[in-house]
Amino acid sequence: MRERIEQLMDEVKKASPTGAEAIEAFRIKYLGRKGELKALAEDFKSVANDQKREMGQLLNELKKNITAKVEELKNAGEEQTSAATGEDLTRPHGDLPIGARHPISIVRREILDIFARIGFTVAEGPEVEDDWHVFSGLNFPPEHPARDMQDTFFVEGDDRLLRTHTSSVQVREMEHRDPPIRIVMPGRVFRNEAVSARSHCAFHQVEGLYIDKDVSFADLKQTLLYFAQEFFGKAKIRLRPSYFPFTEPSAEMDVYWGLETETDYRITKGTGWLEVLGCGMVDPNVLKASGIDPEVYTGFAFGMGIERIAMLRYQIGDLRMFFENDARFLKQFTSVS
Ligand code: DAH
């Protein structure tokens, strides 16, 4: 029996079957149900008791050698196939789908980047607010009809509400910091409005605020012109008089979009101009309410809806598309960063 085992050891060592089928045949020849090892196990039964221990060890060793050889042959086989086809067989199967950034995130980031280049840092505030930061601190007197400009969601209790605009963050920042303050404030806002192609109950804004000595309307205009040029690539803006309780004077900014194509005609209703944002000089009452001396400091503020800006940028006709998360829609937007 010892001889047979040694012979098989030698045979196994020298064997070099190639190809999956030959390797499998090799495995069956030695390890299969009717294979060599099985036959030896039968013979083992008749081995004299005093030799059982030694023969047992030899048999185990043979089995180990054969198993190792089969593994080795299989691995070599795989390497060969991969070398032949140039494929990396260790690579996970299939292409992993790559996600895209949401257009709102792309536009928000771009807006913040543009303002970062002229010294504006980012500040954020809570979505659930109190009346002071959303209204009273921004010069909306109690019961003033201006509060009806924004339909508010109230949270249980008497002084909790979802912020209707990111102007609330202005108030928080002015309370905490001393001028100069130069910040942009992105965030989600909420209004009790029906969902339609042009309105939604939750959307995004970016607010801007600059407070320092001698800040003038000319600074506001120049800052917004810079933004229009950088973001839309449009070189002409106009400021139309408007009203907001927290700014005086207040204005709305339009960019000159042009009237070159049919689409230009349609979206600007034949005027060539598109309304982009609201702005103005911070009302002295607002500065005072947050502990900033309006005799020393002046400032400007502006606020824009990110969805609106994104709709203009990408020529999207229906606001709801931003909230449906249809992968076919989202995949169309690419961003470098
Ligand atoms: N908070 C205004 C809104 O939600 C937007 C706005 C207008 C913000 C004028 C400003 C501003 O800071 O000066 O409609």
For the segment 89-119, what is each residue's pLDDT rounded down to a tens digit?
777 777 777 778 899 999 999 999 999 999 9
End-to-end CA distance of the chain: 72
Element (H, E) at 333: none
pLDDT band for 186, please (50, 70, 90 cuts). very high
Atom of ligand 1 nearest to the CA of 205: 4
Regarding the beta carbon of 302 and ligand 1, being less than 6 Å apart is answered yes
State if pTM tops 0.85.
no
Q: Which residue has the higher pLDDT, 235 or 127?
A: 127
**Looking at residue 149, what is its pLDDT?**
62
Establish whether residue 303 lines the binding site of ligand 1, counting it when its CB lies within 6 angstroms of any ligand atom.
yes
The residue whose CA is least distant from atom 8 of ligand 1 is: 303
- Ligand 1 atom at minimal distance to the Cα of residue 149: 14
* Cα separations in angstroms, 162 against 31, 146, 159, 219: 73, 17, 10, 32
- What 3-state DSSP class applies to 146? helix
Q: Judge contact between 268 and 257, C-beta under 8 A.
A: yes
Which CATH fold topology does 103-336 show?
BirA Bifunctional Protein; domain 2 (3.30.930)
Express each pLDDT in 194-248 by its tens digit: 999 888 999 999 999 999 999 999 999 999 999 999 999 988 999 999 999 999 9
Work out which ligand 1 atom sits closest to the CA atom of 167. 1
Pairwise CA distance, residues 67 & 59, whole Å: 12
Q: Dump pLDDT digits (tens) for 40-93.
A: 988 888 888 898 899 899 999 999 999 998 888 888 877 766 677 777 777 777
Check if 165 has its Cβ closer than 6 Å to any atom of ligand 1: yes
327 has a pLDDT exceeding 70: yes
CB within 8 Å of 257: residues ≥ 6 apart: 232, 234, 264, 267, 268, 272, 273, 274
Question: Which residue is closest in CA terms to ligand 1's atom 4?
Answer: 165
Distance 267 CA to ligand 1 centre (A): 23
Sketch the domain layout of the chain as residue ranges. 2-85, 103-336
User: Is 279 close to ligand 1, i.e. is its CB under 6 Å away?
Assistant: yes
Q: Ligand 1 centroid to 101 CA: how many Å?
A: 27
* pLDDT of res. 335: 59
Q: By the 8 A CB rule, do 24 and 73 touch? A: no
pLDDT given at position 336: 46
